[in-house]
Every structure is written in C-alpha cells, then in structure tokens.
Chains A and B, each alone.
Chain A
Amino acid sequence: MKLLSLIEFFRRNLRTTVKVCLAVLVLLVIADAIPALVDKHHAHTKVEHLPGFWSVFGFLACVLIVIASKAFGHAGIMTREDYYDK
C-alpha cells in the first residue's frame, strides 16, 4: 500500500522531516515581512502590520489554550470516569 509506505518514509526520516517543517515556519515569517510577497492592505488593525504577528499570535494562542484549559480541568472539572454511576 503506497499511502502506508509514504507515512513510514516520513517516520524513518523524522529528523529531516522536522527540519523541513521548521524551515517552512521560518520561511513563512520571512515571506510575511516582504511586502512584495504579502500585501498587507487587507489587514484590519495596525498590529497586524508587524512581521510575523500571526505567528506569535498562533503560538501564544496554542500555549494559552492548553495551559488555561488544563488548569480549569484540574481545578475540579475533570473527575473519575464512573462519577455519574455512583
């Protein structure tokens, strides 16, 4: 099965795959800073004109969601699976 061998190819070359992905992230921020590539006149606010604004936003959003939700869950919202049975 071709799909499976493709997945396994990525898993065998995990280090290279990760490096390529990180390179993509860097390129994305660089592209965002070049006006010829990314035309910012559709931006709605001033902060969006900062290069890589949405990268920082995305990363912080992810960290915030995970940490805040887990804190909320561990404050008593998460409980044992048979909670409603007893």
Chain B
Amino acid sequence: MISDLWLHPALILLLGGLLLPLIPAQLRKAYLIVIPLLTFIRIVALTKGVYGEVTVAQFTLTFGRVDELSQVFGYIMGLMAILGTLYGLHVQRTAEHMAAWTYVAGSIGAIFAGDLLTLFLFWEVMAFSSVFLVWFRGREQSLATGYRYLLVHVAGGVSLLAGIVLHYHATGSLAFNLFNVSHAGLADWLILIGFLVNAAVPPLHAWLPDAYGEATFNGSVFMCAFTTKTAVYALIRGFAGMEILIALGVIMALYGVVYAVLENDCRRLLAYHIISQVGYMVAGVGLGTELAINGAVAHAFAHILYKGLLFMGCGSVLYMTGKSKFTELGGLYPKMPWTFLFTLIGGLSISAFPLFSGFVSKSMIVSAGFESHKLWVGFLLMLASAGTFLHTGLKVPYFIWFGKNNCAKQTWDRAGEPTWNMMAAMGVTAFLCIFIGCYTPYLYRMLPYQNAATEYAAVVYSSYHVSETLQILLFTALGFFLLIKKLQPEAKISLDLDWPYRKGGQAFLWLASKPIQAIDTAVGEIYRVGGLVPLMASSRLAAVFDGKVIDGVVDGLAGSVKRLGERLRTSQRGALQENLTMAFGVGAVIVVAFVLFF
C-alpha cells in the first residue's frame, strides 16, 4: 500500500534513539552528534512534494507534505535537535536522550503531516515523550509537575481529536489545510483549542512555566523550542487570518511580560517570556497578511535559537550551582563570564536589538500590524518589546551575574563555566543569533512568501527603523536602572491560572477526607456509647478483639499500603520511568513503521 519508499526524517531520530542503549561507551558521544546531524541533512535534502501516503481502512494518511512552510519549520527543528543534543552530550542517562529525540521526532512528524490523523498521532508523541524531561529532574515535585503537564496536554489532545472527528464527519476529509476561519463551527473551535493549549495561549498557558521551570537543565532547552513552535506552525497552516488570534496574541505578549516582572526563578521568567514571544507569532497568524505570516515564521525560527540559548545559559547556572532563583544567585560574573556573554547575546536577540536575530523577525510582525491599520496592535506590541528587554535583556543577566550577591558559600564555590560541550552549544547558538541578525538573506530566503520577504529586506535596516528600536530599548534600560530598587527579586511565587487544578485537587482531597473522617468519628462514637453502657460485661472481650485483631489488621494494612506506596514512588522516579520511555519509544516506532510499510 505504500506509494514509494520515502525515509521520514523523524524515523532517523526514533530508530537512532532505540539503538542508543546498544552503542558502546567510547562511540556514544559521536553517535549522539551523528544521529541529529543525519536527521538535519535528511530534512535539508527533502524536495517539495507529497510523500509517504498510506491508506489505512478508508483513511489516507500523509506523512510527508513538503512545501515552503513545512520546510522552514523542519529545518529549524532539525537544527535545534543538533544544538540541544550537543548541549546535553555529557548526560549519562540514556533514557533522557531517547525521550528528547522522540519528542523532536514528534515535532518533525507533526510538521510534515499532511492530514489531521497523522498530525494528532505525532502531537501526542510530543506530549508523552516530553513529560519525561520533567520527571527526570527527580525532585519530589517533578513527578507532580509532570502529571499536571500531562493532564493539560491530554485535555488539549482530546479537544483536538474531538474536533478532527467532527470535522471529518462534516466534510468527509482529513486533509490538514486552512479551516473555515471566517465562519468557524464547533469542529474548527475544538481543533483551535487543541492548538491553543500547545501554543500556551492564556487562559490555557499555565502548564508552560510550571513544566519548563521544573524540567532538567537540558530538558528545558528542548522543551522551549518544540511544543509552542509546532503549535505556531499548526496555527499558520490551519487558522491564518482568524481575527480573534490578533487579540489573543497581543494579550499573550503583555501577559508574559507582567508575570516576568514578578518572577524570582530565572527559568520560569524565561518561560513567561516564551508566552510573550509566542504572542507576537499568534498575532502575526491572526493578521494573516503575507508580511505577517512571514513574520510569524521568521520569529518562530529566530525564537527557537535565542530562547534555546537563554535556557542554555540559565541551565548552565542551574547545572553548575544547583540554583535558579535570583534570591539565591548574584554577582557571578567572575565565575562564569562566558556564560554571561552568551546569555546576554540571547537577551539582546530576544529584545530585537539591531544586528541580532529578533530585530529582523519581530519587527516584521509589528510592521504588519501597523500596515493593516491596526494601530493598537502595533503600539501594544511595542510596549511588550520594552518589557522583553527589561526582563530578559536586563533583569536576567543583571541579577544573576551582577547585582547583590545572594550566593550561599556552597553555591559560590560550585559556580564556574560549564562543560566544553555546553560552552560549544552556547557558542554556536550565539553565533547563529548574530548571523541571522547581520546577514538577513539566510533567514529571509527560507520564508514562505518570497516577494514580501524581498520587499521587507530592503527596509528592515532603514534609518528610521533602527532609530525607533534603539530609542525604545535604550530608554527602557534607563528606566531599568532608575527603578532598580523596585525590581529587586522577592522570594515569592505568583499565582497563575494553574491555581484551579492545583488547589482544586487539594479541595477534592479535603472533600474526600473530611466527610470520611466525620463518618469514622461518628461510627466510633456510636460504638463507644452503644457498646460501653449496656454491654459492659462483654466489653472486655470486645476490647481485646478490637485491640488485638482489628487494630492489628488495620495497622498492618495501613503499614503495607504505605510501604507499597513508597516503593512505587521510588520506582516511579527511577527505573520505571526509563522503562516507560523505552516502551513508549518502541511503541512509537512500531506505529510509524506499521503505517508506513504495511
């Protein structure tokens, strides 16, 4: 049933991950570089067309739709797989590499998917493999965070699947193309909600800072790149020009900025800025003009690199010192000057400083807002730009590497530049951030609308544009240093919209425990009154029975439940997780292989 033999780039990563445990230790590092490199080369070598069409029952699945849009997204995902793996090259736990690669494979699979079922399949692969990057942190709270992450993504997945089923029922087609954006029906809305969960659009966003702040030092480097940007791709493909996305995008851009002011954990701060930056892309998708779509694509591309770089920088601090809160860091510049420089380059890129990558991508979306005569979009996105520089460009570097030294002696002693591979990954990513900003044709030639891109390339470095940006950013810096007292980090957390399901769970437990306890007390009381007064004579026997037999059984039962629980908890943190990753990886390969070759 297979139309032609076509090697899916995701398959290289999936199979490569499965073979990883068999690779001898001395070849391991080379292997870890070669597999993502081969995947990247395979993506670059793809030519436009439709490949890997498979008919299962009455459905035609399309695994390889290669066009302008999927090519540029595939390219950056492949590139980031190399950089992320290089950054975590020294990580010994094999399952962590396997989880990361399966996750990237899910993302690449979703990007090249030509139909909704294939998209859904890879969409779920992403959620179920990335959760391990949170669990592998191994802290007590990692497990709970991971489950919350799954809870949200499974809910989003259910919405997506329900939408797909309704869409198929109504249209008889599973093709993944532009939906009815002007008169969206229930099916379209359900699919949109599924996409919006992964794009972390408020109020469906709280999973993102929760999970990305808790993941392993290199897990976050992967996570920050793939989930939200795959969702941006899906939104471009399915909902370009949908009005409501403009407002949602602008809200996101500002929402992330507000929470970033309050945040004390540097990686959670970066996570809130993902929401803010993805807001630009979502607004671009909503605007839907050629310039806006180019902007959304270019910004996703640039964002993956600079946000990866920022998470690498803060991940290095976490890896070396064990700390990620501003109130436990500070003054580290003599210990890790190069990490500082790389993080600063990431900060300048996200802030859209001229000559850095964000400048050539973000400005496209803002210009598209102004050109569509939606002045409020342009001005509010400019406002968010000031906030971006304020936090990621200034607050993060200042309060980690300068500012008040809050380091405990142990933190200070441990601090230092990270391993060579982490430095190399940061160096290459930093180079790319500057390269994209200085040599615009590299990125612009990959954009889906070439005419609009060429037109914009002529004006991106116009004197007005540069003057406008420099004024906003440098005067924001002035404000930062004048208000620095107000910006001192506080050892607090901020409540966000994960409150209902975090506190809701506790309320459920309270409800479950309190009435049960009340019944238990009441029964005890009846037993005491009813048993004590009329049956005084036999009470001694009953007491003995109660004391020795019942209590013994109950205590023993409680004891063994507790012991079982503890054993389960430790095994879940250790071997069980690795086994699950393995099982999941095997399952994913079997499913893909099955539909491809049979």
Contact = CB atoms under 8 A, between A and B. Distances in A.
B502 A31 contact: no
Contact of A78 (B480, B486, B494): B494
Contacts of B469: 54
B338 interface: yes
A20 interface: no
Contact of A65 (B257, B370, B477, B490): B257
A77 B471 CA distance: 32
B472 interface: yes
B514 interface: no
Kindly state the interface size class of chain A when it binds its partner. Answer: 35 or more
Contacts of B479: 58-59, 61-63, 66
Nearest to A63: B479
B483 A81 contact: no
B378 A55 contact: no
Interface in A33-75: 37-45, 48, 52, 54-59, 61-70, 72-73
B382 A38 contact: no
Contact of A42 (B262, B462, B473): B462
B548 interface: no
Given A38-B463, A77-B494, A67 B472 contact: no
Contact of B386 (A24, A48, A65, A69): A65
A81 to B, nearest CB: 5
B470 interface: yes
Given A1-B337, A40-B464, A29 B471 contact: yes
B486 A70 contact: yes
Given A7-B333, A32-B467, A66 B472 contact: no
A79 B492 contact: yes
Contacts of B480: 62
Interface string A3-47: 110010000000000000100110011011000011111111100
B34 interface: no
A44 B479 CA distance: 26
B257 A7 contact: no
Contact of A4 (B337, B375, B478): B337
A56 B475 CA distance: 8
- For B341, B483, B487, the residue with the greatest tally of chain A CB atoms inside 10 Å of its CB is B483
Given A4-B337, A42-B462, A78-B493, A69 B478 contact: no
Nearest to A86: B506
B386 A61 contact: yes
Interface string B227-264: 00000000000000000000000000000011101100
A83 to B, nearest CB: 6
A53 to B, nearest CB: 8
A67 B387 CA distance: 12
Nearest to B260: A69
A3 B262 contact: no
B495 A77 contact: yes
Contacts of B583: none
A32 B463 CA distance: 9
Contact of A54 (B462, B468, B477, B478): B468
Given A25-B475, A42-B459, A44-B375, A66 B464 contact: no
Contacts of B474: 24-25, 28, 55, 58
Interface in B339-391: 340-341, 370-371, 375, 378, 382-383, 386-387, 390
B495 A44 contact: no
A80 B495 CA distance: 10
A55 B471 contact: yes
B375 A45 contact: yes
Contact of B390 (A42, A48, A65): A65
Nearest to A66: B483
B345 to A, nearest CB: 12
B480 to A, nearest CB: 6
B464 A38 contact: yes
Contacts of A21: 477
Nearest to B474: A25
Given A40-B464, A42-B465, A79-B493, A55 B475 contact: yes
Nearest to A82: B493
A65 B338 contact: no
Nearest to B261: A69
Interface of A: 1, 3-4, 7, 21, 24-25, 28-29, 31-32, 37-45, 48, 52, 54-59, 61-70, 72-73, 76-81, 83-84
Given A7-B337, A69-B261, 5 more contacts: A3-B337, A61-B472, A66-B483, A69-B257, A83-B493
25 contacts: A1-B337, A3-B341, A4-B334, A31-B467, A42-B464, A44-B378, A45-B370, A48-B468, A54-B467, A54-B471, A55-B474, A58-B473, A58-B479, A61-B382, A61-B386, A64-B383, A65-B258, A65-B261, A65-B386, A68-B258, A69-B262, A70-B261, A70-B262, A78-B492, A84-B503
